[in-house]
Structure 1
Amino acid sequence: MYVPRAFAEEDLPTLHKLIGETRLATLVTYGEQGLQANHLPLLFAPDQGPFGTLYGHLARANGQWQELAGGAEALVIFPGADTYISPSLYPSKAEHGKVVPTWNYVSVHAYGSAEVFHEPQRIREVVSALTRQHEAGRASPWTFEDAPAEFMDSMLRAIVGFALPIQRLEGKRKLSQNRTAADIDGVLNGLAASADPHDQHISNLMREEQP
């Protein structure tokens, strides 16, 4: 990922927070089957390894797991908040007009090689943990016991699990840090006044950057 110095995020707790907040990540590999990408919910164990470990599963019919099993390096993309930045938000537009549109966003890229596993109990543990994580806020959370046991066993046989220890992390927080203080305030206030939730989210992140 191209990360100019002004936008680099290297604080590990912050990177872990961004990973944990991402509901759906993108797993990218390149191997004998070419370039592949799939969108997956992942479990994150921040205390396992120097940068944490990711757990997930793929359909057995999905050939990407074979690339992982063959040792292909994987890239996992965690997209954070993003929004369009109009030049009209910059006070400098009225001064000299030398401004152009851009995009503010947050993203984390994790790299590593995965271990693929087929043991039913281990796969069940990953899927159960993912289910608990995403059902947690519901009034009546769904559990494995809500479905017939034979049905769930057949579903688990149709997937493979993987564990991906993160070997390298890259983080980017592009939040107008390269602009003047006046332009930053213009963007922050303009986004804060917007009804768009994407604008609101970025304005809150920008406010966190303020000294």
Structure 2
Amino acid sequence: MTISVVLVDDHAVVREAVAGMLGAQPEISVVGQAGSLAEGRALFDRLLRTPPPGKVVAVIDVTMPDGSGLALVRAVRDRSKDIGLVVLTMLSDDSTLLEALDAGASALVRKSAPADQVLSAVRRAADFPLEFSASGLAEAMRRQHETPQTTLTSRETEVLKLLVEGASVAQVGRQLFMSPSTVKTHIGKIYEKLGAHNRASAVIAAVRLGLVADVDRT
């Protein structure tokens, strides 16, 4: 099946290089490019109205002149569970990787990675848009767990609210456009941050700490 790819990166040279590499593959067609978040949003508005043939994957840079590409990742994921979202970045810090996971990306690949890793991420994102993969994910999560935190990300708060309402893992995944394994990853992070061992203790801890003051506890 054809994979239609769109590229969002403010560096024209990078876009051209990635477009050339991907376009050389028989099943991949580059159908759009954008050099800013504003152009990217407009591009996705058109794509969502008139989807191109086959599966759709976006390759999005993080550092853009008008904001973070991860904001675009989150906006697209909030509107579609079917688009693969590959984050391509120069950054190598844990926070960027974990924020990409939280935003609903399908994968994160560093620009220093070999071309075949980018190609593999695009193909995997086309088949499994809701499954997040990234080199070093396990290590980043371990380092995060070693540093106690009590602040939930926006995605973690959304997951927690649904858990409070009695939603199952599958129901959370359907509502937030995430795979069950990704939902479980977020739940594990919530429990770790709150020092909880189950749903009830997580809710009690979050409310006590004022992290989810707007959660309906009735």
TM range (shorter): under 0.3
TM-score normalized by structure 1?
Answer: 0.24
Q: Please identify the structure whose Cα radius of gyration is greater.
A: 1
Higher strand share: 1
TM-score normalized by structure 2?
Answer: 0.24
Greater RCO, CA 8 A, separation 6+ = 1
Higher helix share: 2
